[in-house]
Amino acid sequence: MVYSQKIRELDKKLKNVFDLIDDFLENNYGNKYHLHPNRPKRGATANKASDGLFNVGASFSAGYGSVHGRGYVVEVDLATLDHVPDQVQRDIEKEVVDLLRGIIPEYFPNQDIKVSRDGNVLKIYGELVIND
């Protein structure tokens, strides 16, 4: 298998994980805040990251200056102009961590993958590989 194919497969699995988390957050918080006027309603696009109140995803980090090294920095963005209290943001972050810790082993079985705070960001790190 070509290296770039493995990366695409890893990204696809992570996208599926984030789509599940997006659904959970939309179901639990989607009606609590007004959607940004420029943001399509939930389900209006083919990509959950492009519509609804939440955009959940991750970006690869080489890990320079990081406690946990390389991995994926998790991003949870709310598409609203409403004020979201700090406590609600912390609650959402905790739910995302709990969901990631529960879902990742299903998508990446028998791998030592961790989710925790790394400085001021959430990070997925460890043995993130696609097995043949």
Query: What pTM did the predictor assign?
Result: 0.90
In a 10 Å sphere around its CB, with 0-12 CB exposed, 13-18 middle and 19+ buried, how is residue 67 labelled?
exposed
Predicted confidence band of residue 101 (pLDDT cuts 50, 70, 90) = very high
- Interaxial angle between packed helices 3-29 and 86-107, expressed in degrees from 0 to 180 and rounded to the nearest 10: 140
What span, in angstroms and rounded, lies between the C-alpha atoms of 123 and 55?
16
Q: Report the DSSP beta bridge partners of residue 114.
A: 125
What does the pLDDT read at residue 28? 97
Q: What are phi and psi of 75, to 5 degrees?
A: -120, 130
59-to-41, 78, 88 alpha-carbon distances in Å: 24, 17, 23
pLDDT surpasses 70 at 2: no
- Whether 82 contacts 32, CB under 8 Å: no
